[in-house]
Amino acid sequence: MKDKPLAGKGVVVTRPAHQAQRLARLIEAAGGRALLFPAIEIRDVEDPGALHAVIDRLEAFDIVIFVSPNAAHKAMELIAARRALPPGILVAAIGGGSRRALARYAVTDVIVPEGGFDSEALLAHPALQEVAGRRVLIFRGVGGRELLGETLAARGAHVEYAECYRRVRPQLDAAPLLAAWRRGELHAVTASSSEGLRNFHEMIGEAGRERLRATPLFVTHP
C-alpha cells in the first residue's frame, strides 16, 4: 500500500486528450485508475495569416515566450516549417511541459521558472525584470490571460501576441462518468486550467456538479 498510495482510487483527468497520458500513467503507477474526460480540445486557429506574418519577422523581437505546451508545439511546428529561430533571441516558457515541447524542436536554451507553473512565476524570473525597450512576442491561445503581457508592458517592454491555437469545449457524453461516480468508482478530479475546470463544470450537468462538490479536486496552481 505504501508504494501504491492511490490503490483502489479512480481519478478523473480533464487535460486535453493528447496531453493526458503522462498524468494518467503516473496515477496508474501509484495504483489508481485514471478516467480520461478531456474538458478542453485544442484546435488550429481558423485564419493563420497573422501568425505566419509574425513568424516571418521573428528578427524584430528580443524575447519570445511560450505560455503552454500547446503554444510551444503549435508555434514551433509552424516556425520549423518556415524558418529557424533567430540566433540570440531569448526564449522563455511556463512550466516543464513547455520546456519538453520545445526540446522536441531542438530548442533547449530556455528560461523556465523553477518555483511555479504560471505567468506569475515567470514574471518573477530575474531575466524578465529589466525589459524596458525590449521587444517581446508571446505565443498563446486565442483569448489567453493578459497578466504576462500587461506586466511586461508596465516594465517598459514592447509586447505583441501571436495566437497560435484555440481552445474549445469538447462534445462528450458525461453519462459513463456520472455512472462511475454513482457506483463509487470516482474519488478525485484533477484540473490543469481554470478554463478546463469551467468546461468540466458545464459538461457534467447539475447531477455531476452536486457530486463534484463532495469530491476532492486537485489543481496545478492557485
**Is pLDDT above 90 for 15?**
yes
Average the pLDDT over each of 42-46, 132-136, 141-145, 215-219 and give the range with the smallest value. Answer: 141-145
Query: Hey, how many other C-beta atoms are within 10 angstroms of the C-beta on 171?
Result: 7
Return the closest-CA partner of residue 67 out of 136, 14, 132, 127: 136
Could you tell me the maximum CA-CA distance found in the chain, to the nearest angstrom? 59
Write phi, then psi, for 184 (nearest 5 degrees): 80, 25
Q: Residue 1: what pLDDT?
A: 53
Q: Report pLDDT digits (tens) over 138-178.
A: 999 998 789 999 999 999 999 999 999 999 999 999 999 99
- Average pLDDT over every residue of 18-44: 96
Q: Report pLDDT digits (tens) over 109-120.
A: 999 998 778 899
pTM: 0.82
Residues 6+ apart with CB under 8 A from 60: 135
Return the closest-CA partner of residue 173 out of 135, 215, 141, 205: 205
| Alpha-carbon separation of residue 13 from 115, 130, 133, 143, 203 (angstroms) | 23, 39, 42, 23, 14
Q: Among residues of the chain, what percentage have pLDDT more than 90?
A: 90
**Is pLDDT above 60 for 12?**
yes
Q: Residue 51: what pLDDT?
A: 95
| Dist CA 90 CA 61 (whole Å) | 9
Q: Report pLDDT digits (tens) over 49-88.
A: 999 999 999 999 999 999 999 999 999 999 999 999 999 9
